Structure 1
Amino acid sequence: MTAQTIALAADSQPGRVVRTLVALGDSTTVGIGDPVAGGRWRGFGPILQQALGERGQVRLANLSYTGARMADVRRKQLSQALRLRPQAVVLVVGMNDTLRSDFDPVQLHDDLDAIVGELMAAGAVVVTARYHDHAKVFQLPGALRRVLRSRIDELNRITDTVTARHGSQVLDLDAMPGAYERTAWSADRLHPSEYGHRMLAQGFAEKLRAGGCAVPHEVVMECSGGVPIKPIHIVLWMIFKGIPWLFRRGSDLLPYAARIIVRDWIYGGPAPVGSHRPKLRVVRDRRR
């Protein structure tokens, strides 16, 4: 897919003016995959900020950090966000949870429910992300691939439950046109490329508009201002980042993956995806 400018039509209704945009989450929200001069990361945040108003009119507070999990957002980032009294909040988090041996759907549900509920109670329009099948982007051994896919399915069900309860907005990454194309991903295939971050900015802008926010400007899809990624960058990443990352995550998930391998051997093949998932307990709606 070639880069192009995709017009984001201005809403005929004025909408709610966004003066403060808060970005929460992990390394994707940090902007990793979209390097700019000076050794910094840009990402979808500043691109979305430009669509929400003129230069200097919209404050962006990116409270994310690399490695953050859902509980980190609730315990550390949420309180900072609430103090800023934002009109709009974008949240991308949860993938790090799916890659850990202590994956806990019940705790994930409680944390996400608290995050979305408190932000909306404070008057913010909240947009979360529903994840794609990352095993289609980053190749993993069979058992690990099935573990990751089932956990992403679980995370998405939690997101669906929470967003339906609170009436918040959600961007379905799996349904985004071009989500699985190579141009959407950086050299590591774990984070979006500059173009991928622009895709995210466009998707979030559409969801903020659906939530009642004014989005007066186009999201420009033509890549500009970033540092070009060269083949040597990919090789260096694989040596110093990619292989060590795969080893760490593989070791973390190995006991769970081993159980799946044994189960498949006993029953003569893989069970349907999700058959081994822990069940969510019923959580009482706190607003009642």
Structure 2
Amino acid sequence: MSMLGAGPARATERRPAPGEPVRFVALGDSLTEGVGDPVGDGWRGWAAVLAHSLAPEGAGVEFTNLAFSGALASELTVRQLPAALALRPRLAAVVVGGNDTLRSGFDIRAATLELDATLGELSGHGARLLTACLPDPGTLLRLPAPLARPLARRMRAVNTVVHALTARHRALHLHIADLPWCQERRLLSVDRLHPSAEGHHLIARRFHELLAGTDRPLGAGHRLGPPPVAEPAEPPPGRAADLWWMATQGTRWVAARSTDLLPGLLALAASEGAARVRGATGRHDEQMARAAAQALASLG
């Protein structure tokens, strides 16, 4: 895009030493943390599944998942980026933005600056980047139109920014938003916001396909391993297991966020209803698109 100019310079590729393991770090929120794909007392997730396929048998992979539930774009820069740089990764996944859209103080320009800083630092230190655009949470949750429309507007703005920054930093991009989440319910977990185990495996396979389709996917001297399996080895949980998860964990997750999300969502719905009465919904869409474009233009 012309507004981005030539973009930041990349570091000279560092040739790995013989036998050096593939270092892979994942930055992001609950999607990358692995919520929806339980293993033991924790989460596994698409990034961990992908990590197992980043090198052929006998080669080492060092995987670190820095993502945590609820993370905003600003928290990647402040809390996750320093730890990621210290690990000197060959591959870094940066997937964030959904939580930003769910905050009453949503600021597309601030999110753009934070995400650009995170991607720039990682690529500047020689990491190959993975990015993704995310599905609209209002659609996944099947919210009524007054709630769903403003969330969709914000998500479009975030995805516009992510697409542009992907080109700016020469990342590999996966259109997670285009995967059939609503058409194939089994891909979503019980909370309808996060992938199920099968959904996480699908994301891992698609990222592996992207890497396999490029020359020297992890730099000189590295080869990929076989792709992740088509489906999880374990069967998906039944309805009883879903209900038990919601009763023991899901309810706490919803309650913890309701104090922050619900007032903001209600305010958005009221604003959207007033705009619809005035016939100003289209104008709100234009304003958000313009804000995203201005945020990108400010990067120079």
TM-score tier after normalising by the smaller chain length = 0.7 to 0.9
Shift of 1:19: 1.1
CA distance in 2, matches of 1:160, 1:64: 21
Q: Does 1:274 align with 2:290?
A: no
Q: Percent identity?
A: 32
Task: Measure, in 1, the Cα distance between the counterparts of 2:65 and 2:80.
Answer: 10
Aligned counterpart, 1:127: 130
Aligned to 2:158, what secondary structure does the other structure show?
A: helix
- The answer to whether the 8 Å contact 2:197/2:236 transfers is no
| 1:60, distance to aligned residue in structure 2 (A) | 0.5
Cα 1:236/1:131, change in 2 over 3 Å: closer
Matches within 5 A, 1:197-208: 197-208=200-211
Asked if residue 153 in structure 1 is aligned to residue 151 in structure 2, the reply is: no
TM-score (norm 1): 0.84
1:135 Cα deviation (Å)? Answer: 2.7
> How far 1:129 sits from its partner (Å)?
0.9
Tell me: CA distance 1:46–1:56, structure 2 relative to 1, closer, same or farther (3 Å): farther
* Cα deviation code 1:67-116 (max 9, x no counterpart): 11110001110111011110001122110000001111101111111111
Q: Identify the residue that residue 221 of structure 1 maps to in structure 2.
A: 230
Q: Kindly indicate whether the alpha-carbon contact (under 8 Å) linking 2:139 and 2:148 is maintained by their aligned counterparts in 1.
A: no
Count of aligned pairs between the two proteins: 268
- Displacement of 1:236 in angstroms is 5.9
**Structure 1 CA distance for aligned equivalents of residues 80 and 243 of structure 2:** 32
Alignment of 1:100-111 (within 5 A): 100-111=103-114
When the two structures are superposed, what TM-score results if normalisation uses the length of structure 2? 0.81
Structure-2 change in CA distance of 1:36 and 1:243 (3 Å): closer
- Deviations, residues 180-238 of structure 1 (Å, cap 9, x unaligned): 31011000101110000001111221233345223221210222247734335337627
Letter in 1 for 2:271: R
Equivalent position SS for 1:51: coil
1:48 alignment partner, one of 47, 50, 67:
50
Equivalent of residue 263 in structure 2, options 246, 251, 254: 251
Instruction: Please give the residue correspondences for 1:25-40 in structure 2 after superposition, counting only pairs within 5 Å.
Output: 25-37=28-40, 39-40=41-42
Instruction: Name whichever structure is richer in helix by fraction.
Output: 2
Q: Are 1:240 and 2:222 matched, yes or no?
A: no
Q: Equivalences for 1:4-83 in 2 at 5 Å? A: 19-37=22-40, 39-53=41-55, 54=57, 57-83=60-86
d(CA) in 2 for partners of 1:123, 1:102: 34
Please tell me whether residue 96 in structure 1 is matched to residue 111 in structure 2: no
**Structure 2 residue runs without a partner (length 5+):** 1-14
| Cα pair 2:166 2:172 within 8 Å, conserved | yes
How well do the aligned residues superpose, as a CA RMSD in angstroms?
A: 2.6
In structure 1, the partner of 2:8 is none
**In structure 1, what is the Cα distance between the partners aligned to 2:137 and 2:252?**
18
* Alignment map for 1:256-267 (pairs within 5 Å): 256-267=268-279
